[in-house]
Structure 1
Amino acid sequence: MSQRSSLLFLVLCCLPLIVVSLRCYTCVFPSISPMDCLKYPQECPADQRCLASTAVASQGSLRLVLYEKSCALPAQCGLSGEKHAAGLNFSYHNECCDTDLCNGATGAAAPSWTGLVLSLIALPLVHIFG
């Protein structure tokens, strides 16, 4: 091996690995269907992927669909389960992707967006601003 190729080999071996971070959309706050969340691009840590999560709760004729986007550890990807919030039980499902801003798509709008949901949201606002 020539001195030049030896030097090149040494330089290449000693360079730190270049890790390119993935950029994902993150919601400022979760959104309620049919609206999309207010999202902005965020650089994720190198070991994370882009997450899009959908949570659905039903109570009588009320159907509430929440969308959330963020960076996530691979262990959170593909998970489904239950979580409790605002007095409702939500069934959620997490989906992940591996390309820049791949979690930007809006979920399908829920057909049962009702006045009851609007009143549940507006009631606390009336007390705050009323």
Structure 2
Amino acid sequence: MAPPFLILLLLTCVPSVVPLTCYTCLFPAISPLDCLKFPQRCPPEQRCLASVAVGTRGDSYRVVLYEKSCAVASQCGLTGQKYAVGLNFTYTNKCCDTDLCNAAPYRTGLALSVLIPLPLALALW
């Protein structure tokens, strides 16, 4: 039988999976506001996500939506496009690995955007 100190040493070498606590938005937020967020324990192997989606129509109309949540690694670092309600959206996802690290509003240096009614924003997402 192995000595107790050897068993203890082996147990300290086993990586433990400690789930993160991340902020999650109740609804996406419209710039310049931050979303109504609350802490949520993420499933193991997930990270904290902060996402921004910029919707445009022509050169003069722009709306920016912010989102926070837990995410699987395959969602991290993604940038893409989608079309909804007559707007072309470009989205970018960023992830982080510490508790509540997605607290700050995700900003891209864009000027203040045109505000649209909340029901339309929810329909977009």
TM-score norm. by structure 1 comes to: 0.75
Looking at structure 2, the residues matched to 7 and 122 of structure 1 have their Cα atoms a distance apart, in angstroms, of: 61
TM-aligned CA distance change 1:30 to 1:123, over 3 Å: closer
CA separation in 1, counterparts of 2:44 and 2:74? 14
Letter aligned with residue 35 of structure 1: L
Structure 1 outlier segments of 4+, above 3 Å: 7-18
Alpha carbons of structure 1 residues 123 and 91: separation in structure 2 relative to 1, 3 Å: closer
Aligned to 1:80: 79
Q: TM-score, normalised by structure 2?
A: 0.78
CA RMSD of aligned residues (A): 2.6
- Partner Cα separation in structure 2 for residue 99 and residue 30 of structure 1: 22
Matches within 5 A, 1:1-130: 6-10=3-7, 13=10, 18-60=16-58, 61-108=60-107, 110-114=110-114, 117-118=115-116, 121=117
Give the match's secondary structure for 2:3. Answer: helix
> Is residue 48–residue 101 contact of structure 2 (8 Å, CA) maintained in 1?
yes
Q: Where is the helix percentage greater, Structure 1 or Structure 2?
A: 1
From the superposition, tell whether residues 43 and 123 of structure 1 become closer, same or farther in structure 2 (CA, over 3 Å): closer
Q: Which residue of 2 aligns with 1:128?
A: none
- Identity among equivalent positions (%) equals 53
Measured in 1, the distance between the counterparts of 2:40 and 2:68 equals: 11
The 1-side partners of 2:33 and 2:64 are apart by: 10
Gaps of 5+ in 1: 125-130
Q: How many equivalent residue pairs?
A: 117
